[in-house]
Amino acid sequence: MDGSTYSGAIALTDGTPDDIMIFLICSVLNGNHVTSIFKPTEGTRYGSITGLIENIGPKIKTILIVMDQEDETLQEISKNMENFLSKHGCDYESNYDNKILHFSCTKGPRSFILLVVLNGLDQIDTQKHCIEDHLIFAGKYDCVDNSKSTWKTIPEPEKEIIITSLVNSSRSKLEKIFPQHFKAISLFKKYIDNPLI
């Protein structure tokens, strides 16, 4: 991806239903930008972003990575991302808040913003936080053991009802179900509008 027509890129490190939810949130925000949304071809989570810094073209100034929190703390993920950036020759300044990690990066002559939004809701009692936290919360299901396995046990017609309900929901309702995603995409848009902030 050379970035010739995009000023920003969104990388999904897992797959479905992550892709459905991020498309939904982006469509609700209804911005004025053309943005690349892609799923790296290898690995998940950290493994899927290994070549990200090297392969995104120089016109991409803002990158948003969407990944499951799993069983890691925000601090552990921040440290792993810092190690990843250092390993790939990036200098950076970082901060994090409420499941969003923010890195202002420089690699040689190139500067870019890297945002990482973590899927998961703290109010869901699960072993590993993931996008399914948001879906079982939306469907008002109790989590049994972990949200991913709970989502898998829900019959397909009921899953379709939940997703259709989300598609037809108001922005204010979606912001309660996907709070960090709306905040991250708003930041993403802000940086695309003002790349030197």
Q: Which domain holds residue 94?
A: 8-121+178-192
**Which pLDDT belongs to residue 27?**
74
Asked if the structure places residue 34 within a domain, the reply is yes
Q: Looking at residue 18, what is its pLDDT?
A: 78
- 92 occurs within a structural domain: yes
Distance of CA 155 to the CA centre of its chain: 26
CATH number at residue 86: 3.40.50
Q: Is residue 132 part of a domain?
A: no
Residues with pLDDT less than 70, the chain: 1-6, 28-34, 42-44, 47-48, 50-51, 195-197
Confidence (pTM): 0.88
**Pairwise CA distance, residues 86 & 193, whole Å:** 27
Number of folded domains in the chain?
A: 1
Cβ neighbors of 26 (< 8 A, separation 6 or more) are 10, 35, 37, 185
Q: Does residue 41 form part of some domain?
A: yes
- Predicted local confidence at residue 2, as pLDDT: 47
Distance CA 92, CA 69 (A): 22
Task: Tell me if 62 is assigned to some domain.
Answer: yes
